[in-house]
Structure 1
Amino acid sequence: MKSVKKLPLTDQCHHWTHLGEVPWDLQKYWQQRYTIFPTYDDGIYMTEDAWYGVTPEPVAIYLVYDFVGFISPRKRTVIDMFAGVGGNAISLAMATEEDGYTPRFDKVIAIELDAATLACAQNNAAIYGVESKITWVLGDSFKFIELLTQSPSELEEDLRVDLATTAIFASPPWGGPGYKTDEIFDLSTMEPYNLVTLHEAYKAMDHALYLPRTSDLRQIAKLVPDNVKIDVVQYCVEGASKAMVAYIPAAVDGPVGDTADQSMS
């Protein structure tokens, strides 16, 4: 698996400027475009599916602030497992130390399975001036983690990161907007990847999971032993909850279990 350079925008990448251009089922999302990306008019591109899952910029900024507070200062690499059109990867790449200048992460790796979506992400990151600060990977993020943890020699050198100093951020697909009808969302039925599948893949490292706002907290709590703390935060925009993020420490008995980091979480 290799990193990729600049991908071309395709006819699946859109920058709509008039409501009449927008498919009817996306019009309410397009009308919120300045909340999602305040820089939309500067040339933000999105695929149609991305409108359902992109993290609004105000939420991305705050959750990255919380994410940095959750992980140890020695976590210098972060992997965005589902980069989408770049909302979270951009905020991760823009994160700084307390001085406001030094980048918080030495490396940000953003993985996306769909080429058109990744092309949009690269375009959008360029608008924020951080395209070159992100290592872009076109491929299956689960395969990437499998190689990283079991066969790192099969990754190009630039992608062979130290698991002990790496954290994961994952904003997986939720199976479409149907989750909104559930008073309590059953994470075992989330498609195409349920909660246990995600946690099992990531448990060797500190990881944050971006989940539906009505997710079942009991299911999240069962991921770790009773003496391990999981932080769960609801993120709101204009008084309405958009999502929750569960911040989950690495398993002590995982391949890179870190007792010191456990005690800090």
Structure 2
Amino acid sequence: MDVDGMNVAAEAVVEIVPGPAKEQRPPQKRRERVRNSIGVLVETLRIFEAVREAAEEEEQKEQSPKTSEDEAEVIEDKVQIILSDSTSPDRGTRKRKQRKKKKKNVPEEVDHPGLHKYWTRRYQLFSKFDEGIQLDQESWFSVTPEEIAKHVAERCRQCDVVVDAFCGAGGNTIQFALNCRRVIAVDIDPAKILLATNNARVYGVQDKIEFICADFMQVAATLKADAIFLSPPWGGPDYTQKQVFNLEDLSCVDAKEMFKVAKTVSENVIMYMPRNTNRKQLMSLAGVGNLVEIEQSVFRSKVVALTAYFGKLIDSNF
């Protein structure tokens, strides 16, 4: 190494020198810092205590109906007050701002625990929801998501007439009408017929649908079609609590008898059932030597139902 290089190294070493000793702060200032630190710690403990109390109140109410909005705001305000005080430079003088309630335009029939999630998915149920779609409480958790209904209907595109034996609010009926020449929609509940009629009008297909308010099992003998769609009521969302949903769990109709009657209307049958339905039981409906195609219906990246196809509706590549 040359001399210049050594000089540079020496200069670098010389530069690494500790700075002057820190100036000692007066004892009074140190005491003030300690007091401030203690004050912050006390406020922090108060925050944690308020959060703990709020959590305990929430836990005590888990066995009872959900906390109302007003009670929830009181709990949140209790924590918010302390948070504001602990960061405010003029504590004790700042006025607490009143929290404004957010107005929710949630329909009355869906404004209760367990149904809010269906409200957030309303456009997946009906893409034209804002154009006048009407649903009652049961329909919110019964209607087939539009994309699934569209997929099923497209598989019936070659059919002139399709019967929707349990039409409900019309989710499947509308999609059949958009893909087929004529649809016969049956439901035993007059309120559901009114909802389905209104919703079909929103989609502009009311003239392609014949609505019948009756028990399907009683009027089936008068019906003829190229395909029939069966989606009887599943008994509400509680079906998800069962490990296996058996056909006997349908409380409104005997599944085997329903399928037998449906076959008198058309040999091409579609059954839309819960995702945990016993598949062996579905297969047994086809009869010895016959085929059935069971399709997993996916909604929001999750299997939500099983769709079973019988007769000529079975995919030729199946």
TM-score normalised by the chain length of structure 2: 0.61
Is 1:84 the counterpart of 2:168? The answer is yes
Q: CA deviation at 1:60?
A: 0.5
Q: Based on CA coordinates, which of the two structures has the bigger radius of gyration?
A: 2
Alignment length, in residue pairs? Answer: 210
Post-superposition Cα deviations, 1:80-139, rounded to whole Å, max 9, x if no partner, equal 1011111001000001xxxxxxxx33x211111111211111111111100111011111
Q: Which residue number corresponds to residue 45 of structure 2?
A: none
User: What is the letter of the counterpart of residue 234 of structure 1?
Assistant: Q
- Within the candidate set 234, 257, 271, 1:209 is matched to 271
Q: Tell me which protein shows more helix as a share of its residues.
A: 2
TM-score (ref. length: structure 1): 0.73
Q: Residue 133 in 1 paired to residue 208 in 2?
A: yes
Distance 1:67 1:172 in 2: 19
Partner of 1:258: none
Aligned residue in 1 for 2:54? none
Whole-Å separation in 2 of the counterparts to 1:181 and 1:63: 26
2:138 corresponds to which of 44, 49, 55? 49
* Paired amino acid for 2:204: G
Aligned to 1:177: 237
Q: Which runs of 4+ in 1 moved over 3 A?
A: none
Assess, with a 3 A threshold, how the Cα gap between structure 1 residues 41 and 76 changes in structure 2: closer, same or farther: same
Q: Which runs of 5+ in 1 are unaligned?
A: 1-16, 96-103, 149-160, 251-260
1-structure distance, mates of 2:302, 2:295: 14
For CA contacts below 8 A with separation 6 or more, give which structure has more relative contact order: 1
Q: Show the counterpart of 2:197.
A: 122
Q: Which residue of 1 aligns with 2:36?
A: none
Map Cα deviations across residues 190-239 of structure 1 (whole Å, 9 max, x no partner). 22124212212112321111100111110011112332110111111110
RMSD: 2.3
List aligned pairs for 1:147-162, cutoff 5 A: 148=222
Give secondary structure in 1 for the equivalent of 2:276.
coil
Q: Does 1:61 align with 2:145?
A: no
2:33 aligned partner:
none
Which amino acid in the other structure matches residue 119 of structure 2? W
Query: Please, which runs of 5 or more residues in structure 2 have no aligned partner?
Result: 1-103
Q: For each residue in 1:44-85, what CA deviation from the matched residue of structure 2 results, as whole angstroms up to 9, or x when unmatched? A: 1001111121011111101112344xxxx4x42111101111
Query: Contact 2:156 / 2:227 at 8 angstroms: preserved in 1?
Result: no
Q: Assess if the C-alpha contact under 8 Å between 1:67 and 1:208 holds in 2.
A: no
Partner Cα distance (2:254, 2:301) in 1: 28
Residue 24 of structure 1 and its aligned partner are, at CA, apart by 2.8
1:31 deviation in Å? 1.6
Which residue does the alignment assign to 1:242?
304
Worse-matched range after superposition: 119-128 or 26-35: 26-35
SS at match of 2:261: helix
* Percent identical residues: 31
The Cα shift of 1:20 comes to 7.1
Structure 1's 94 and 182: CA in aligned 2 closer, same or farther, altered over 3 A? same
One-letter amino acid of the structure 2 residue matched with residue 119 of structure 1? L
Aligned counterparts of 2:173 and 2:230: Cα–Cα separation in 1: 10
Work out the CA distance in 1 between the residues paired with 2:116 and 2:300.
19
